[in-house]
Amino acid sequence: MPGDRLDKREPMNQKPTIYFDEQCRLCHASVRFIRARDPHERYAFEPLQSVIGQQVARQAGLDPDQPGSLVLAESGNVYTRSDGALRIAAGLRFPWPGLKVLRILPRRLRDHLYDWVARNRYRWFGTVPPASAHGGQSEMLEEHRGHAEEKEKAAQVRNGRDNRA
pLDDT per residue over 45-72, tens digit each? 999 999 999 999 999 888 888 888 999 9
Q: Of 69, 77, 61, nearest to 114 (Cα)?
A: 69
CA pair distance 103, 109, nearest whole angstrom: 10
CB of 20 within 8 A of CB of 101? no
The pTM of the full predicted model, rounded to 2 decimals, is 0.74
| Cα angle value 47/76/144 (rounded, 5°) | 30
The 10 Å CB-count burial string (b at 16+, else e) for 55-85 is bbbebbebebeebebbbbbbeeebbbbbbbb
- pLDDT band for 129, please (50, 70, 90 cuts): confident
Q: Percent of the chain at pLDDT above 70? A: 70
* Span 72-108, pLDDT tens digits: 999 989 999 999 999 999 999 999 999 999 999 999 9
Torsion of CA 44, 117, 3, 109, to 10 degrees: 150
CA pair distance 131, 53, nearest whole angstrom: 14
Domain residue ranges of the chain, discontinuous segments joined by +: 4-131
Average pLDDT of the chain?
81
Mean pLDDT, rounded, for 119-145: 68
